[in-house]
Amino acid sequence: MSAKDSMRRHKTALQVTLSADRRLILDKVYARKLITPREYNNLKSINKENDEGHVIELVDKLMNKGEGACRTFLDLLQTDEDVRSTFPDLQSIQLNDGLPRPVQASSPFSGGLYEDNKRPRMDDAYPLNSRPVGLCLIINNVNFMESPMRKGSDKDAESLAVVFSWLGFRVLMCKDQTKDQMEETLAGFASLTDFLQPHEQSLQEWSGGAFTAPQQLLEHGDAFICCVLSHGRKGVVLGVDMKPLEIKQITRTFKGSDQSCLTGKPKVFLIQACQGGQIQPGVLLANLEPDNSGSQSNPVEGDVLVAIATVEDYVSFRHRTNGSWFVQSVCQQLKERCPRGEDIISILHHVNNDVGQKEACRVPGEAKQMPEVRFTLRKKLVLLPHQESN
């Protein structure tokens, strides 16, 4: 049974029990960052006839936030000492029916769908308590000045937006950027300068199944995702003006500092671009294109993961309609394995295996692709769904 199903089964008992001190449970939920400041103020001031009415609103809101929020809420009820002492009747409610036992009061992974031996301990995994979990930036270069259009890239951007919004991220996209514009965008996201606030016309946000103009100010959470979809060469990605931007410069833009709000937090970079022009002999199947027009730098900064579609010197493949092998595999593996509690490194191992088995040639083994992953993550990064999967 999922955490959400458990809350649904015991909803009446929870509402009656927690009504004994609605302000305490509201404050505890807010401290866990399960609700936003605006939601907190609204819940605190809503006009209800009794305390139970306030608790009903809170429980409904948490259930609407999805499985991840429900897991964290059940963990709070079972492990927080203030909650346990204030609401002793909670012990008689079988909140963990079919669920693993919660581990620690502040663990964002407690009450999940996966087994105890697969759940990272608090000190083993990055805490992801913010809502949203963080920002996901997609740089989607499709139309180039002196190179073929990257057909299928919009499909990749949409697939990434769907899966990372499902995982609790706020997804934003900049399209068809020159090298200088990419640098400016990355620097803007690193510092969240006024350049990248909602009035910036080139910025679009994934909402309601489409990219539209963002309406709210941008704010970093507990993790950051950056996806660059473009042509590339060894060690670089290309702007639509065909000027190169080094991959190491992309990652170092987010280098930790005393002023950076991302210091100590996981930063994941997914690069869909060729890293050279070499390809083993063979005839490409119809509708497959190479994404060329390096050496991926080994990030010296901590808390960084860089996954590139292919090893240095070689092309990566992109279907003109269905998108690239690498991005589509990443999205599929995240959908399958995140609900199980697998960490990002393990998931990318499966991506490597999946992409490595694909064939770009009618003769098996003649034209292949192998992604490359390098990281300086200090802990496990486990992304959990925050919305119901479609």
338-359 pLDDT, tens digit per residue, is 999 999 999 999 998 877 666 4
Least confident stretch, 216-230, 256-270, 286-300: 286-300
Q: Checking DSSP bridges between strand 134-140 and strand 223-229, what pairing results, if any?
A: parallel
What span, in angstroms and rounded, lies between the C-alpha atoms of 360 and 368?
6
Domains and CATH numbers, the chain: 3-121 (1.10.533), 134-375 (3.40.50.1460)
- How confident is the model at residue 132, as a pLDDT? 94
SS3 category, 106: coil
Burial 13-37, CB ≥16 within 10 A → b, else e: ebbebbbebbeebbebbbebbbbee
What burial class does residue 364 get, using C-beta atoms within 10 Å of its C-beta: 0-12 exposed, 13-18 middle, 19+ buried? exposed
Compute the half-sphere exposure of residue 99: CA atoms within 13 Å on the CB side of its CA.
26
Please state whether the peptide bond connecting residue 132 to the residue before it is cis, i.e. omega within 30 degrees of 0: yes
227 classed as catalytic = no
Average pLDDT over residues 47-67: 82
Compute the average pLDDT of residues 122-138.
90
| This prediction's pTM | 0.64
Which of 274, 319, 338, 386 does the annotation list as catalytic? 274
pLDDT > 90 in the chain, percent: 37
Whether residue 70 lies in the annotated active site = no
Residues in the chain: 390
b or e along 328-355 (b: 16 or more beta carbons within 10 Å of the residue's beta carbon)?
A: bbbbebbbebbbebbbbeebbebbbebb
Average pLDDT (298-327) is: 66
Q: Residue 85: its pLDDT value, please?
A: 87
Q: What one-letter code names the amino acid at 145?
A: M
Pick the residue with more confidence: 362 or 51?
51
For the record, the structure tokens of 104 come out as 């620690």
Helices then strands, counting H and E runs in the chain, come out as: 12, 14
Q: Which entry of 231, 319, 331, 338 is annotated as an active-site residue?
A: 231
> Which of 34-43, 61-70, 94-103, 232-241 shows the lowest mean pLDDT across its residues?
94-103
**Which of 233, 319, 317 has the alpha carbon at shortest distance from 277?**
233
